[in-house]
Amino acid sequence: MAEPIKAPPEPARGRRSGGRAARVALRAAPLADHLRPVRPGMAGGLYSPLTDADVSRIHNAALNALEQIGLSLAPQSGIDAMTAAGAILGDDGRLRFPRALVEDMLAIAARDITLCGRDPQYDLDLSGTNVHFGTAGAAVHIVDPVDNSYRDSTLQDLYDAARLTQNLDNVHFFQRAMVARDITDNYELDLNTLYASCAGTKKHVGTSFTEEAFVPDCISLAHMIAGDEKTWRARPFVSNTNCFVVPPMKFATESCQVMEACIRAGMPVLLLSAGQAGATAPAPIAMAIVQAVAECLAGLVYVNAIAPGHPAVFGTWPFVSDLRTGAMSGGSAEQGLLTAGCAQMHRFYGLPGGAAAGMSDSKMPDMQAGWEQAITNTMAGLSGLNMVYEAAGMHASLLGFCFESLVLGDDILGQVLRCVRGIEVTEDNTSIEVMRDVCLDGPGHYLGSDQTLSLMQTEYIYPAIGNRMSPKEWAENDKPDLLETAIARKNALLAAAEHQIDPSLDLAIRANFRIRL
């Protein structure tokens, strides 16, 4: 790192100006990744909404639910695998899971997994309480905040969202954020969703498949992008987001068949249980967590009965209902509590976990969207959630995706990550020597001190879009508007974004598959 820039001496007015110039110059200098104030995979876990007794009670209730209620509608292949492992198929068609079976599968489940990017610099280390933020949601609309309108999302929109994600430092992975509604054939939709995502970013990609029959061609596409099957299996850069259950307590038959195909292909899976409290999950927040944990434990048994130790993310995603209407309320305080409670259960099991935060019920990137995204993402990050899905860009309770909100969300997530990092207390940063120098022999302030300048970039994070001008500066700079600034940054990032598939490989892919982008 370069030597700290020292501010010029008094007089005060000149010293202030020089200090400002030095600070601006220092802030403009790029930092090595390990010196940045925030970065992917910082450890959270400082916030725990549940006591140890609460965690134990939820765990035992989930095990009781698996033993006594079980899950229905597993495909025959899943029934065969799970009963061979020790599950019990009842006369009512429900699979029940003895406590000892669940504990045995917990013992062999994959831990400390890495979700790979196509470029290793984007690898996601899901050990401990390392926190990563990304997209998700499968929205069906694009939000236009200029004319306050919604329109159908397209494949080009999906590609553009991936390209933006590639160039936003605080959005660490890209899971399909919208449905390409201009493609009506489900096979082509799955294939083109995978292609557009990988063409837009080299960060880890999450996607889903409609039918088991569509998986082989999508895996062949992944092999082509990787180089060959061996390279793919060594570093799978796509995971299968799999809604393997239909809450409450039913397997989703077709999704389970897709999951089995993905496991055979070496693809990591996200075991996603997305009950809605008060509708498809119990209304009490604690009980909604119980059901999600029970369903994901059943998924864990399923995965490990097929392939012991296969990488799987424990995806407890319970959502909240506004009980006045039954509508989903993704931006609520209760959603933040649900997500943080689930993260605490992931920590209890020592499993890589994912859940949803950052969703807004607001229709536009307004003040409501800001507080909803900030509160739920902060709670998720502080709770040590490994994978925070839907963390930016999502509006109208997941029905709409907004590019400008994704860009604004990158700023929000930077501030959230700074909260996750917390306060480092060391011998050096609690020494009173600098205080003594400033108070007894110095200018009486810390603006130009070596310590202040040396910590400007490593201790503090600065918004790319957020405005910290004084009212006078704001007026002198033509009163910049937050949304207009976000639009300008979005356009600049898209203009500079590169296609992430080599041209010759792209031609080969198009020769083998019907690519619609």
Q: Tell me, what's the pLDDT at 16?
A: 42
CB neighbour list of residue 486: distance below 8 Å, 6 or more residues apart: 365, 404, 405, 407, 408, 465
Q: Tell me, what's the pLDDT at 17?
A: 44
Q: Tell me, what's the pLDDT at 14?
A: 36
Distance CA 177, CA 164 (A): 12
Q: Tell me, what's the pLDDT at 7?
A: 42
Distance CA 297, CA 291 (A): 10
User: With contact defined as beta carbons under 8 Å apart, do 50 and 39 qualify?
Assistant: no
- Is residue 341 left, alpha or beta, with left meaning phi > 0 and alpha meaning psi from -120 to 50? alpha
Do the bridges between strand 238-242 and strand 387-389 make them parallel or antiparallel, or are there none, so unpaired?
Answer: unpaired
Distance CA 212, CA 257 (A): 6
Distance CA 144, CA 404 (A): 9
**What DSSP designation does 469 have?**
-
Residue 32: CA atoms inside 13 Å, Cβ hemisphere, count? 4
* Domain residue ranges in the chain: 106-422+504-512
Q: Tell me, what's the pLDDT at 20?
A: 60
List, for the chain, all residue ranges whose pLDDT scores fall below the cut of 70.
1-29
User: With contact defined as beta carbons under 8 Å apart, do 393 and 402 qualify?
Assistant: yes
| Digit-coded pLDDT (tens) for 136-179 | 999 999 999 999 999 999 999 999 999 999 999 999 999 999 99
CATH T-level topology, domain 106-422+504-512? TIM Barrel (3.20.20)
Give the amino acid at 60.
N
Q: Tell me, what's the pLDDT at 452?
A: 86
| Digit-coded pLDDT (tens) for 488-513 | 999 999 999 999 999 999 999 999 99
Residue keyed to tokens 């690898």:
123
Helices H / strands E in the chain, number of each: 18, 20
How much is the pTM?
0.93
Query: In the sheet where 387-389 sits, what is the strand order?
Result: 42-43, 130-133, 387-389, 354-356
